[in-house]
């Protein structure tokens, strides 16, 4: 928000990389960041070629979860409030995601066509994440009594 | 809350019966209420005999969902606010349930050992439901601006 670090140094991207490497239990520690982030990048052309038939791959849903977990982590970092992400995703690839703190829904997102989940590039990933983080932080600052209710 | 109708006439119980019959698509329209409600009643003795090994039956999870959907419906009825139930239940039988309206978490419930989900009797079901409804209504009345945010 305030500064513009290189994409790979952005806290959201670093969070994502931590979550990806944590899941692999050390097996991916030596893999380059670009390679680990590459499944999050899906160009428009690639999206068109992904069929919406059938259920999205479980790996896609794991990426969606990591993206919103990283957003929750960044909101925690900026506000000091504990965030719980709740994903309610239908196996066909649509649903709702909320990030909750106390009695406040800090972030709410409706998602669909998750078969095609991904971003044009790392810049777009950061931009979308920043928007959700800013939204969550603003809500927490606006309703402190609901957060601590 | 204000009056004490017979258990079977309580709005929560009527909601539950509607949800149960709706799911059966007409097949259970002629079945007596008691029979349809009986899976919600699990005595202490019966609970002790239900093993916690393995995943709870999908029917149990469907009952949990109906119970909280009925609670959401009753909160809607009393407040005029649309409620979205979000169930985030691990297949092993524990998790979190929230009822959301606008940016407010009207009701939050942590659940566990859902293998043994059920109530001593209809009176206890109503009592627990009323407590959650009252909690949700009170939160909505306390934070109207969060609900409409």
From CA B71, how far away is CA B73, in angstroms rounded?
A: 5
Angle at alpha carbon of residue B83, lines to B79 and B86, rounded to 5°: 150
From CA B79, how far away is CA A25, in angstroms rounded?
A: 48
What is the model's pLDDT at position A5? 61
What is the model's pLDDT at position A34? 92
From CA B144, how far away is CA B149, in angstroms rounded?
A: 9
pTM of the full predicted structure? 0.84
From CA B107, how far away is CA A133, in angstroms rounded?
A: 24
Average pLDDT over residues A21-40: 91
Return the bridge partners of A94, or none: A90
Average pLDDT over residues B129-148: 97
Average pLDDT over residues B98-116: 94
The mean pLDDT value of chain A amounts to: 91
pLDDT for B1 beyond 60: no
Cross-chain Cβ contact A87/B87 below 8 Å: no
Of A88, A104, A108, the CB nearest to B146: A104
Average pLDDT over residues A105-130: 94
Q: For chain B, how many residues are written? A: 149
Cα dihedral angle (A61, A67, A69, A74), rounded to 10 degrees? 180
The mean pLDDT value of chain B amounts to: 91
Complex ipTM: 0.80
CA B37 to mean position of chain CA atoms: 12
Q: Which residues of A touch B (CB under 8 A)?
A: 84, 86-88, 96, 98, 100, 102-106, 108, 139, 142-143, 145-146, 149
pLDDT for A1 beyond 90: no
Beta strand segments in chain A, E: 84-90, 94-101, 104-111
From CA B126, how far away is CA B122, in angstroms rounded?
A: 6
């Amino acid at each position: 928000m305030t500064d513009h670090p290189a994409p790979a140094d952005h806290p959201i991207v670093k969070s994502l990389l931590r979550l990806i490497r944590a899941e692999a239990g050390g097996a991916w520690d030596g893999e380059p960041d670009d390679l680990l982030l590459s499944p999050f990048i899906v160009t428009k052309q690639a999206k068109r070629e992904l069929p919406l038939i059938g259920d999205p791959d479980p790996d896609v849903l794991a990426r969606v979860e990591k993206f919103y977990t990283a957003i929750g982590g960044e909101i925690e970092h900026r506000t000091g409030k504990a965030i719980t992400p709740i994903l309610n995703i239908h196996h066909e690839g649509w649903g709702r995601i909320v990030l909750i703190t106390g009695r406040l829904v800090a972030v709410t997102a409706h998602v669909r066509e998750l078969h095609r989940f991904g971003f044009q590039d790392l810049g777009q990933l950061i931009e979308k994440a920043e928007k959700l983080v800013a939204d969550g932080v603003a809500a927490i600052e606006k309703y402190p009594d609901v957060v601590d209710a």
